[in-house]
A and B are shown apart, each in its own frame.
Chain A
């Protein structure tokens, strides 16, 4: 019984490897969440990548060859992510990869990626991802270290508030963000008066909000990944009479969050990497995306769009698809204006070093300013 399945598997592997031997395309791998709870964001990621791919191909491709995308499903979990990457490795001719947006999946894939030896552009924002010394990871979104610096900078320097209440989910995103925010505030001389974690999918935030009131905070900073939590938190915040400024992580300004929180979110600030009003590239991209897919894009698609362009640029710059050459090309990318921002990769592989601040103006997201920092030397 087992032997038959083994033969089938081997057959599949060989067939896949055989099929992909055509040397007239440059293949880009894409690992996205196509099934499972995060399938919708996966679809956006694929759309963004495809948009970029088609643009490049219409303009003649790269080095005279057309680009081809091989999409593999991570199934929204770590094991699936590793398997998706393994399937790309099995294909044997992948030039570069557009990886996942989930930090834990990227962590799981890291050992396999190292063995594969191919550059992967990632959308995960956990600052630790680029500190592991893995030379093949390149981040096409600003990491949470910057998000925290931007939140802190905006709140302290622009809004002038120093008594911070930090509310964060206890998952990877929330805890990482919280740590970074505490550090950033310390650097600006502002000590948080309250740091309060909560488990995602909480039904009731009353104890948290009462704690905010008791601590006498004059500004709230949040790292809340789930939209329902944002919705409930915002509603209860207003019900209990708290109206201090609120600068939150990107989930505060997503379409879903605004649908759930409605008036409770009016006047809140959020950081966002992708913002249509922030620069010309973003504006054009939003229009193109809407025209083709009939919905507004979000950051899930924009970074993938940038990632494909970055890969194409790197191949063009070094005139080669060899991994080592591409690595050097990425590291020497300077001043390239993508949708997410202007890219310059530091030695750790981080391409972006700042965030936009946006405001919820009675239901419309408006661009306030961009705060960026010099990349680490």
Chain B
């Protein structure tokens, strides 16, 4: 359910509009639910189940943040849960702290560990991350079992007291459950609101395509660390309330099997939504109770269901519900909005070259992809980089962008040495980029994709969400896709996706725009439209475009200057007229004149 509507609609109203009418009574029922035990007697069994569900759910919500929103694997969630639980257990029983103090200690501790795990992503991602988190989980298990002087070892900690609120001890299960429900609902609300914030969008961008996010200006490492820290903090909260709820904890409650359980709950319900996380938790706590008659088969079915979920409903039950809803609901029509014209002019008219490359070398082992290239790009021009396939063009661009660190040489953007800067830092200085093989955020709408571009640091727009939205809509309007703002980009045709990518780069109000084969894959008509677009960009004051292309006609019609490279070295440079008749250039593309004639 992606946000819609005009740029000037307030954030709250927009959130409200995301709730379809039939859901409202369900939400009200849920709000009333925790009060029911005071009116209607429930067995302690039922109360126990709910207590377990609500505390587990908070931990599973943590997984929703790190896995669902940010796409990072975390198999140590039970360890973070355990840190919170032990903080309360040890804190109240061994160190004489109050529950609330112990809770804070627990959250700080689990967040700290979560932060550390997040920092490991600086080096590793993907499958390595899975292994690192498993190893962390095992280490936690290990330490808690063996460091008996600290943790009381396998005996665990008994007699954990309930917290007291305003002097009243919450010994009554119903009151405690109410407290847990309040915490749970607060977390659900916060997580529901999160995806619509800058941080939320950054997280989703990292999940969808980390490289594109980094290049578009998202500080991906910071986002991942925040995601892990938040995930661990939530698990710590859940663990703390779990400990005080059940009065007894032991290490075997917080082991790898529990981590897998949390993961399955997140996946079953739908890791990308807080409601999904809640549904998954409740289901997987109630199911074993209801399916007791299945006995041994239950656990095997559990494992099988994980596979089936991944194959048939990767977005979980919530994803199924949303998909069903989208089929039933009338598609929301984008209200006709007036968007201001996209501002692309760059204020400065400093005559110095905006981009200067000095003796750039990029060697991959023995392969010299870029072998000593010097070039300068003047502000406000369109500068093309051409060369036969494999000549090192894209590698050069990737180095300029910051994706690769050059073997040697320097890069200056506006006289600042940016050679050592990460891509997101270059984006913060006004560098925009599109990719040869389009890198968008597939599950996000066109508008959200472009908004990620608009929220790059130092973008000269007003503060606030409304300004971001406005800028993004302007950019979409500029490329002619305003009416597709709400469409998920994976549903857009190739040509339109290319345009969205350009819009995303433009939304960041770039000074220097890198385009890597923008015409690749476009048909004749689309290419013509692209040329028109490029000319409009060229007309913007002060905007510099640096593009790689193969289509010579296109280059001739837009480029001011061309640099030709072959085998990683520059072989010609000048105006199109000069370069395209240069004998070496012709030889590079077509072979020696003697061969060409024969």
- Hey, which bits of chain A sit against chain B, CB under 8 A? 1-3, 5-6, 9-10, 13, 17, 34-36, 39, 73, 75, 77-80, 82-83, 86-87, 89-90, 104, 107-108, 110-112, 115, 126, 128, 132, 170-173, 175-176, 197, 199
Cβ contact within 8 Å between B158 and A2: no
CA distance A172 to B250 in the complex (A): 10
Q: Please, how many angstroms separate the alpha-carbon atoms of A36 and B298 in the complex?
A: 9
Q: Are A1 and B45 in contact (CB under 8 A)?
A: no
State whether A170 touches B154 (Cβ < 8 A): yes
Give chain B residues whose Cβ lies under 8 Å from the Cβ of A111: 246-248
Q: Report which of A35, A82, A90, A108 forms a contact with B298, defined as CB distance below 8 A.
A: A35
User: Does B146 touch A at the CB level, under 8 Å?
Assistant: yes
Least CB separation from B288: chain A residue: A75
Interface residues of B in 477-519 (CB under 8 A from A): none
B292–A104 CB distance below 8 A = no
Are A86 and B44 in contact, with the CB atoms below 8 A? yes
B26 neighbours in A (Cβ, 8 Å): 1
Alpha-carbon separation in the docked complex, A5 to B158 (Å): 32
With beta carbons under 8 angstroms apart, the residue of A35, A86, A170 that contacts B43 is: A86
Of B46, B154, B246, which contacts A13 at CB under 8 A?
Answer: B46
A2 to B269, CA, bound (A): 14
In the assembled complex, B169 has its CB within 8 A of some CB on chain A? no
Q: Contact check: which of A82, A107, A112, A197 meets B156 at CB < 8 Å? A: A107
Q: Are B286 and A5 in contact (CB under 8 A)?
A: yes
Known contacts A86-B43, A90-B44; is A9 also within 8 Å of B145 by CB? no
Contacts of B250 in A (CB 8 A): 78, 104, 107-108, 172
User: A175 contacts B148, CB within 8 Å?
Assistant: yes
A83 and B289 contact, CB distance less than 8 A:
yes
Among B29-37, B92-100, B354-362, the stretch that binds chain A is B29-37
Report B282-314 CB contacts with A as 1/0, cut-off 8 Å.
100010110010011011000000000000000
Q: Is the CB of B253 within 8 A of A79?
A: yes
Contacts of A78 in B (CB 8 A): 248, 250, 252-253
Q: Which 5 A-B pairs give the minimum distances between C-beta atoms? A: A86-B45, A172-B154, A90-B43, A13-B43, A111-B247
* B46 CB contacts on chain A under 8 angstroms: 6, 9-10, 13, 90
A266 to B325, alpha carbons, bound, how many Å?
69
Write the chain A residue with the least CB distance to B153: A175
Chain A residues positioned under 8 Å from B247 (CB to CB): 111
What does the 1/0 interface line of B162-178 toward A look like (CB < 8 Å)?
00000000000000000
Does residue B49 face the partner (Cβ distance < 8 Å to A)? Answer: yes
Q: When the two chains form their complex, are residues B42 and A39 in contact, meaning their CB atoms are under 8 A apart?
A: no
Chain B nearest Cβ from A36, distance in angstroms: 7
Write out the residue numbers on chain B whose beta carbons fall within 8 Å of the beta carbon of A86: 43-45, 48
Contact assessment for A35 and B248 in the assembled complex, using a CB-CB cutoff below 8 Å: no
In the bound complex, do residue B155 and residue A110 qualify as a contact, i.e. CB atoms below 8 Å apart?
no
For A80, give the chain B residue with the smallest CB separation: B288
Does B133 touch A at the CB level, under 8 Å? no
User: Chain B residues with Cβ under 8 A from A89's Cβ?
Assistant: 43-45
Q: Do residues B292 and A73 form an inter-chain contact, with CB atoms below 8 A?
A: yes
Q: How far is the CA of A368 from the CA of B125 in the complex (A)?
A: 61
Contacts A9-B286, A39-B296 known; 16 new A-B pairs at CB < 8 A: A1-B279, A2-B33, A6-B46, A9-B46, A39-B295, A82-B48, A86-B48, A87-B45, A104-B154, A107-B155, A108-B246, A108-B250, A170-B153, A172-B155, A172-B250, A175-B154
9 example contacts (A-B, Cβ-Cβ < 8 A) are as follows A1-B26, A13-B46, A17-B43, A35-B296, A73-B292, A104-B250, A108-B250, A111-B247, A172-B154
Contacts of B289 in A (CB 8 A): 83
Given A75-B288, A90-B45, A128-B155, A2:B29 Cβ within 8 A: yes
Interface residues of B (CB under 8 A from A): 26, 29-30, 33, 36, 40, 42-46, 48-49, 52, 142, 145-146, 148, 153-156, 158, 246-248, 250, 252-253, 279, 282, 286, 288-289, 292, 295-296, 298-299
Determine the distance from Cα of A197 to Cα of B148 in the docked complex, in whole angstroms.
Answer: 12
Tell me which residues across on chain B come within 8 A of A104, comparing CB atoms: 154-156, 250, 252
Cα A178 to Cα B26 in complex, Å, equals 56
Judge whether A110 and B44 touch: CB under 8 Å.
no
B250: nearest chain-A partner, CB-CB: A104
CA distance A86 to B43 in the complex (A): 8
**Chain A residues within 8 Å of B286, by CB:** 5, 9
> In the docked arrangement, what's the CA distance between A107 and B52, Å?
17
**Bound-state Cα–Cα, A171 to B146, Å:** 8
Q: A2-B33, A90-B43 are in contact. Are A35 and B155 (CB under 8 A)?
A: no
Once bound together, how far apart are the Cα atoms of A108 and B45, in whole Å?
14
Partner of A170, one of B146, B158, B253, B288: B146
Contact (Cβ within 8 A) B248 A108: yes
Q: State which of A6, A36, A83, A128 has its C-beta within 8 Å of the C-beta of B33.
A: A6
| A132 and B158 form a contact (CB under 8 A) | yes
Complexed CA–CA distance, A90 and B46 (Å): 9
A90 to B48, CA, bound (A): 12
| Distance to closest chain B CB from A172 (angstroms) | 4
Chain B residues, CB < 8 A from A197: 146
Interface contact B299-A35, CB-CB below 8 Å: yes
* Inter-subunit contact A77/B155 (CB<8 Å): no
Q: Are B155 and A115 in contact (CB under 8 A)?
A: no
- Chain A residues near B155: list those with CB within 8 A: 104, 107, 126, 128, 172, 175-176
A77–B252 touching, CB < 8 Å: yes
- Which of A17, A39, A77, A107 lies at the interface centre, i.e. has the most chain B CB atoms within 10 A of its CB? A107
Residue with the highest number of chain A CB atoms closer than 10 Å, among B153, B154, B247: B154
The answer to whether B282 touches A2, judged by C-beta atoms less than 8 angstroms apart, is yes
Residue of A nearest to B292 (CB): A73
Q: Which B residue sits closest to A84, measured CB to CB?
A: B45
> Is A35 in contact with B295, judged by CB distance below 8 angstroms?
yes
Q: Which residue in A36, A87, A170 is a CB contact (below 8 Å) of B299? A: A36
CB distance from A201 to the nearest CB of B (A): 12
Q: Which residues of B contact A10 (CB under 8 A)?
A: 40, 42, 46
Interchain CA distance A39-B148 in the complex, whole Å: 29
* Chain B residues in 8 Å Cβ range of A17: 43
B48 touches A83 (CB 8 A): yes
> Which of B30, B248, B295 is in CB contact (< 8 Å) with A34?
B295
Complexed CA–CA distance, A126 and B156 (Å):
12
Q: Are B45 and A107 in contact (CB under 8 A)?
A: no
In angstroms, Cα B33 to Cα A10, docked, is: 13
For the complex, give the distance between the alpha carbons of A36 and B288 in Å: 11
Residue in B closest to A128 when the chains form the complex, CB atoms: B155
- Complex: A46 Cα to B299 Cα, angstroms: 21
Chain B residues positioned under 8 Å from A36 (CB to CB): 299
Min Cβ gap A360→B in Å is 28
- In the bound complex, residues from chain A placing their C-beta under 8 Å from that of B279 are 1
Q: Which residues of B contact A175 (CB under 8 A)?
A: 148, 153-155
In the complex, A34 Cα to B44 Cα: how many Å?
22
Contact of B296 with A6 in the complex, beta carbons under 8 Å: no
Contact status B154-A115, CB under 8 Å = no
Q: Chain B contacts of A176 at CB under 8 A?
A: 155
Query: Which of chain A's residues have a CB closer than 8 A to the CB of B288?
Result: 75, 80
B276 to chain A: closest CB distance in Å? 12
Nearest B-chain residue to A86, judged by Cβ: B45
Cα-based distance from A90 to B41 in the complex (angstroms):
11
A73 neighbours in B (Cβ, 8 Å): 292, 295
Question: A78–B251 Cα gap in the complex (Å)?
Answer: 11
The answer to whether A3 and B29 touch across the interface, beta carbons within 8 angstroms, is yes
Inside 8 A of A108's CB, which chain B residues have their CB?
246, 248, 250
Contacts of A107 in B (CB 8 A): 155-156, 158, 248, 250
How near does chain A come to B367, taking the closest CB pair, in angstroms? Answer: 44
A115 lies within 8 A of B153 (CB):
no
| Complex alpha-carbon distance, A107 and B253, angstroms | 13
A3 in contact with B33 (CB, 8 Å): yes
B153 touches A13 (CB 8 A): no
Q: Could you tell me the distance in whole angstroms from the C-beta of B321 to the nearest C-beta in chain A?
A: 10
